């Protein structure tokens, strides 16, 4: 991976940092000089990440809990970069989706992104430092996939949320 882009002196928050893409993003950002804060709901994943990436800060919180997440992110401090990567996905036919399945998708894949982005954006605005917010979406937002009605529709909502955030936050000229 090309690490010629440098983030020296920049503070980054990565959600869904315990596994997969989020974990890899933490490693790359740290390699590029960022001070990285990794957020996950699984303490064991964060502990093993700390062993791999010395100096990484960690926040363990279930992002489906609005108030606990808001408090944890506020306490973590100011960030120059937010990568909203956390997501869940249940593969279920449309007719078998339950309220619980739908709520979990909404809470983690959309509401948490909204919540965390608000906290980080407000800090960026208050400090006048600007910054970047990256919302990880999916090609599933543009096409229908069998047994993915909830995931596809929520990722489409993520795309629209991102556009609205750009429209509203763009005036701060980050």
pLDDT along the chain (174 residues), means of 10: 80 98 98 98 98 98 98 98 96 97 97 99 94 94 94 97 97 77
Number of structural domains, the chain? 1
123, β-bridge pairs: none
pLDDT of residue 87: 96
Among the options 122, 155, 163, 171, which is catalytic?
155
CATH code for the domain in which residue 78 is found: 3.40.50.720
d(CA 38, CA 22): 8
Q: In the annotation, is 111 catalytic? A: no
Among the options 11, 27, 41, 151, which is catalytic?
151
Q: In the annotation, is 172 catalytic? A: no
Instruction: Supply 59's token pair.
Output: 């926040």
**Residue 42, in any domain of the structure:** yes
pLDDT of residue 162: 98
d(CA 64, CA 103): 9
**Residue 80, in any domain of the structure:** yes
For 94, the domain range is 11-172
58, β-bridge pairs: 38
**Residue 4, in any domain of the structure:** no
Instruction: Indicate the pTM of the whole model.
Output: 0.95
pLDDT of residue 5: 82
Starting at the edge strand that comes first in sequence, how are the strands of the sheet with 132-135 ordered? Answer: 57-60, 35-40, 11-15, 81-84, 132-135
Burial of 156 (0-12, 13-18, 19+ CB in 10 A): middle
């Amino acid at each position: 991976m090309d690490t010629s882009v440098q983030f020296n002196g920049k503070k980054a928050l990565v959600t869904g940092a315990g596994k997969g893409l989020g974990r890899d993003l933490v490693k790359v950002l740290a390699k590029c000089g960022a001070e990285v804060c990794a957020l996950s709901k699984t303490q064991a994943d964060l502990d093993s990440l700390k062993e791999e990436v010395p100096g990484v800060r960690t926040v363990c919180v279930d992002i489906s809990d609005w108030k606990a997440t808001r408090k944890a992110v506020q306490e973590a401090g100011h960030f120059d970069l937010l990568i909203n990567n956390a997501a869940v996905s249940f593969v279920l036919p449309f007719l078998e989706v339950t309220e619980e399945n739908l709520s979990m998708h909404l809470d983690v894949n959309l509401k948490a992104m909204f919540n965390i982005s608000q906290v980080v954006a407000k800090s960026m605005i208050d400090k006048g430092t600007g910054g970047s917010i990256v919302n990880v979406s999916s090609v599933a937002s543009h096409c229908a996939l069998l047994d993915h009605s909830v995931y596809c529709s929520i990722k489409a909502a993520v795309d629209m949320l991102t556009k609205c955030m750009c429209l509203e936050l763009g005036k701060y000229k980050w």
